Amino acid sequence: MKTHRTTRPLKVALLGYGTVGKSVARILDERVDEVTLAAILMRPGYTPSDVRMTDSYETIVCDPTIDVVVECMGGLEPAHEYLLRALLAGKHVVTSNKAVVAAYFADFVSAGEKSGAALRIEACVGGGIPWIAGIEKAKRIDAITSFYGIMNGTTNYIVYSMQKDGTDFAEALGKAQELGYAEREPSADIDGFDVCAKTVISATVAFDTLCTTAVPTSGIRNLTRRDLAFFSNHGRTVKLFGHGVCEDGRYAVAVEPVAVPIESLESHVVSNFNMISLTGATIGELKFYGQGAGGNPTANAVVQDIIDVARGNYPVYPCARADAPALRYDPDLLRSSYVIRTNAAIPDSTVYEPGAYVVHDITAVQARELLEGALKTDSTSFMAALGERDQS
């Protein structure tokens, strides 16, 4: 990590004034003296409530006094255009938008290197958890060989509520939406796409390679109380995991529900909290635990990044450069046994519970293909990997 020094307080422009953006603005105004929030980009037609509000991005990107552009808008466009223009203009970028970073990581790094601007992405993964910072520190000594864990507070809240209150999936999802953990259109969370973006970012930073975006991805949309009950019969509960493995110039990544042993720490992660682990040669296994959804935790991570920029701490991402050595994607590095609850026929399987079947020792890619085949016959099919123990 390079260290640079600024000679005056930084002026920040905030793009997006939703749940996270409002929390960022409040924290900056109330708790941070070395940074000034100078502009807030709003959608056209907004009702002004702050003199700093504007609907003109052109005014922001062309203002030479704006040092940092902070993006909390979400989505791919116009976020991609805005961040790329900011970096090319020499403005540092801090973002909580995991979708746009996962899709355009290399473009952003290249633009920042041309202009000398920093890209900081702590808030993209794990809410308030210092996960990206933890990876960067661990890498100073160790090669990271694996990471895994709960990266989405919304889905963890849903599963936790189903277990604690005995509610069905739809009711737990509705409560998550009321609390602001889930969006009105929740597919990014419940179908695993949010975790997929976070997994791509984590692998890119941890393994020093541009991670494929073709990640085998399954979510919890079809999880039922019955599923939780029969996994409980086997001493397990379900958590949605993102995970990656790196070994001998190869790597693999996946997003999928995992039936973890009830004695594991991950099984006891409550509400909207996350728990993500990494493994290094000398540090062993490190676990990071904290709130993974909600305005304040994510905003805290955003503001931490802003403070790092103000203090001259700029990350370096050689993995995103065009000349960086590429690792080979090898699905065989991620193998497990999988349980599929379905009315469809599952080849080479044995009965796990009535109506649920286990297939042993297949890759995450093969498992996803099996699930896709089952869904064509039974749209309510659900699949989970069996987490480490005895695979039974």
- Which are the catalytic amino acids? 198
Strand stretches in the chain, DSSP E? 2-3, 10-15, 35-41, 53-54, 68-71, 92-95, 119-120, 144-150, 236-247, 250-261, 273-280, 284-291, 313-314, 328-329, 335-341, 350-353, 356-363, 382-386
CA distance linking residue 212 with residue 105, whole number of Å: 11
Report the sign of the C-alpha dihedral through residues 194, 195, 201, 204, in that order. negative
Report the sign of the C-alpha dihedral through residues 219, 165, 289, 76, in that order. positive
CA distance linking residue 228 with residue 275, whole number of Å: 20
Tokens of 353: 């519970």
Phi, psi at 348, each rounded to 5°:
55, 40
- Chain position carrying tokens 């990206």: 132
Tokens of 276: 């993500």
- Chain position carrying tokens 């987490």: 387
